[in-house]
Structure formats: C-alpha cells, structure tokens
Amino acid sequence: MITSGGDSPGMNAAVRGVVRAALGRGAEVFGFRHGWRGVISGDGFPMNSGSVSGIVDRGGTSLHTARCPEFREPKGREQAVQVLKEFEVDGLVVIGGDGSLTGARRLFEEFRFPVVGIPGSIDNDIAGTDYSIGFDTAVNTAMDAIDKIRDTAYSHDRVFVIEVMGRANGFIAVEVALASGAEAVLVPEVPFSLMDACNRLRKLRVEGKRSSLIIVAEGAARATDVADFIHRTTGFETRYLVLGHMQRGGSPTAFDRVLAVRLGAYAANRLLSGFMGEMVGVDGGKLVAHPLSYVLSTTKNIDPDRLLLVEAMTV
C-alpha cells in the first residue's frame, strides 16, 4: 500500500482500513513510504495490526507521501514493478489523487499489475465517487476559519475576500460558501463579473448589510486582486485572506474517518477477491467500484444548483 501525491486528512484512517481488513483475511501487508518514490527505492516494511494503532484521528499520512517524477517515466515504472516483485507483492492499494491514480492505472495497463485505488484528495474532483477522503475535513477547516473572520468583518463593516484551495475547480469554494453564508463565490469553471459582484455588494449595503464575505477558489482569481478591485470600485473597506495549506491539515471529521475506513476495507477486500484496475468510491452512501480507465477519463463537475443557491441566498 502507498499514500501518494497531496496528503489529505483521513488517509490514515484509510490505511488502517486496508491493513486491518487485509490482515483479517489472512494476507500479509507491506507499506511503502513516500508514495511511488518508496516503491521505486524499495522503502517497504511489513505492517501488522499495531502499525495502524492510534492513527485514526490524525491528519496527514503516517506512511508519508511525495511527488515522484521518476514514476512518470517508463523506466521508473519498470523499476517499481521490479521492486514489487522482489517484495513478493501480489497487489497494490494506492491512496491518492488523480495523479497518483493515473500512475496506478499505468501500472495496471502496462504491466497488468493488480492495483486498486482509493480517492484521497481534499479537492473532491475525482469521478466515480461522491466524495474523496479529506474533502469534508478541508471544508470544515475553512468554515471554522471563516466563522472567525465573519465576527471581525461584522464588527468593522468590512468586505472580506477569502481564498480557498481549488486550482482547477470550485468544489471546496462552493461548499464553503454555502456553509459560511457567503455573499458570493468565484470558481474557475464559471465566468464571473467582478463588477456584478460589486453591484451586489452595493445593493446589500443600501439594504443595510454592512459586512460581506466573498469566497474565491485559488484557480478563479487571487484574493488580493479581488479585494483591490472591490475597494477601488465601491470604496468599501476590504480585506483578504488566503487560507492556504491549513486546509490540508487537522484531525479528520467523523465523515472522513468513516468514509476512509469503509473505502480502505473495501479496497483490500476487492483486491483480495481478485478485482483490479479499479477505484473504490461511494455513490449515494453505497460502496462502489469503477475501472480506473473510466474514473480518469471522466470529468466531475460542480453542481450548478449549489452555485446558484449561493446567489439565491443573498436576496
């Protein structure tokens, strides 16, 4: 098993799910540190039940993670398969985002190596599952920070522009905007007009709302530029905040822990039952599995109704 790419809260609970379910079926389990890098360099170690004690509540990943450019090259993948054979690994569980899962797909398609993927990413942009591990925690972490900002925005009659993670999509931004009662949300997928946003803020001010929150996904615009524009256009006192890497950390929510342990155990069981080249996920609360080829060639889109709801809540 590896955890690879960007870390996300709940990966540890998934590791625990994989290890304990596999041991329960009589399998031997090896963990490789630092994702694909540890596979290539042979940094593997046997795991027993105690290896995953006391980690269910911890953010990050106890297996460590890394980016591994070598694995993108055919030579790197050949080396990885060689090492896996030396360790007598019959199947690999890969916990990570779309990059890590693309690596898993290549291992399966090029070498027929048995792999099962688990979606671990705060971005929630992976198709084939309603939720990826870490998204719920990241949203809650951002929401907690924004609740504090709201207090000071209210006291000083300020507009606050808050940048959340999401380089290519607005999943976190939309969820956070709804949870925080923000006045506007800017996402990379949908064109937006800052002038419209300013007009809306002016209208709200006339109606007596003296402070506002605007959520920006990092891929849509820079919070500092948005804040500048709003200040110059409206004259309102405006501040900005970039939440940054704090969104990746922290103890996972109950939702993420339960999701992770379910997906971990399911992945181990699928692999031990002979399934391969797939990713496990949840669909309407039920566990599902889809081919990696489907998952990685399908785009998951934000829910347009949620986006509209943010605006509808500012009448």
CB 13 within 8 A of CB 61: no
Nearest approach, Cβ of 272 to ligand ADP (angstroms)? 24
Q: Which of 3, 6, 220, 265 binds ligand ADP (CB under 6 A)?
A: 6
Per-residue binding letters, 118-147, with ligand ADP (x by CB under 6 A): ---x--------------------------
180 binds ligand ADP (CB under 6 A): no
Q: Which helix (H) or strand (E) holds 281?
A: strand 278-283
125 carries an active-site annotation: no
| Rg of the chain on CA atoms, in Å | 22
Per-residue binding letters, 35-64, with ligand ADP (x by CB under 6 A): -x----------------------------
> Which residue, 50 or 69, is less far from ligand ADP as judged by CB?
69
Range in contact with ligand ADP (rule: CB under 6 A) among 1-9, 111-119, 237-245, 256-264: 1-9
DSSP string, 168-208: S--HHHHHHHHHHT-SEEE-TTS---HHHHHHHHHHHHHTT
Selected catalytic residue, list 7, 98, 123, 136: 123
- Residue closest to ligand ADP (Cβ): 99
Nearest approach, Cβ of 239 to ligand ADP (angstroms)? 31
Nearest approach, Cβ of 168 to ligand ADP (angstroms)? 11
Who contacts 36 (Cβ-Cβ below 8 Å, separation ≥6)?
2, 4, 66, 68, 70, 71, 76, 80, 100, 103
113 binds ligand ADP (CB under 6 A): no
Helices (H), the chain: 11-24, 35-41, 74-86, 98-111, 135-156, 171-180, 194-206, 223-234, 254-272, 292-296, 304-312
Strands 44-47 and 29-32: antiparallel
- Tokens 């923000």 sit at which residue? 182
CB 219 within 8 A of CB 169: yes
Q: How many residues bind ligand ADP (CB under 6 A)?
A: 17
277 binds ligand ADP (CB under 6 A): no
98 binds ligand ADP (CB under 6 A): yes
Residues that bind ligand ADP (CB under 6 A): 4-6, 36, 67-68, 71-72, 96-100, 102-103, 106, 121
Catalytic residues: 123
